[in-house]
Amino acid sequence: MLATIVGIAALFVAALLVPLPSPQQIQDWAGSVGPIFPLVFFVVHALVTVAPIPRTVFTVSAGLLFGPVLGIALAVGATTVSAALAVLLVRALDREQVASRLTHPAVRSVDDRLRRRGWLAVGSLRLIAFVPFSVLNYCCGLSSIRFWPYMVATLLGVLPGTVGTVILGDALTGNTHPALIVFSGALIAIGVLGLVVDARWNSGESVVPAEEPTPAAAAK
């Protein structure tokens, strides 16, 4: 315990004394590494977020490292590939074993929505980010939703929030055009509007009976 405290204190002092690079310097460095760096970022982003790891840090980093244009292409592309890999992986494994490990409280709600609305549920849940990205991927893998409608809904659903977040990441450099920042705010507002619409939609739906099958039962 004492060693941990000393280590944290040392890192804190070092952060105060050692000059850290500015966001613009970080972006300049990323541009100087060469064309292999965006490819490595894309692969790491796509593979790591198959696991239940938040993708926000990758989305912000894409804007900070590569700017709005390349950053958006990398973040949206890697997110879509990650969603595809997760579904294919779940369907290639024993679905019952995967379902038994999905204990997140939102899983039942997601499963109910998928059963009622199919790919429309995928699009709305991606748009409002109501549940973790990976949890929705796993639930879709356990469901009977077709692959290509799932992919199209995923792409359209993640687009506004991802683009908005990448632009905000690039804004850390201080060189982002004000119009892009306004555009980012508008995209994020679309996500908030989606949350309101989805909440009103669900309030008018009938409650699913308790005997409806759970993801684990549906996987059998």
Check residue 203 and give its pLDDT. 55
- Over residues 140-153, the mean pLDDT reads 86
**What is the tens place of the pLDDT at every residue in 23-66?**
888 888 888 888 899 999 999 999 999 998 989 899 999 999 99
Q: Where are the chain's structural domains?
A: 25-200
- Decide if pLDDT at 75 tops 80: yes
Q: What string of DSSP letters covers the chain?
A: -HHHHHHHHHHHHHHHHSPPPPHHHHHHHHHHH-THHHHHHHHHHHHHTTSS--SHHHHHHHHHHHHHHHHHHHHHHHHHHHHHHHHHHHHHS-HHHHHHT---THHHHHHHHHHHHTHHHHHHHHHHT-S-HHHHHHHHHHS---HHHHHHHHHHHHHHHHHHHHHHHHHTTS-S-HHHHHHHHHHHHHHHHHHHHHHHHHHTSPPPPTTSPPHHHHT-
**What is the tens place of the pLDDT at every residue in 88-138?**
998 888 766 666 656 655 566 666 666 666 677 777 778 766 678 888 888
Check residue 209 and give its pLDDT. 39
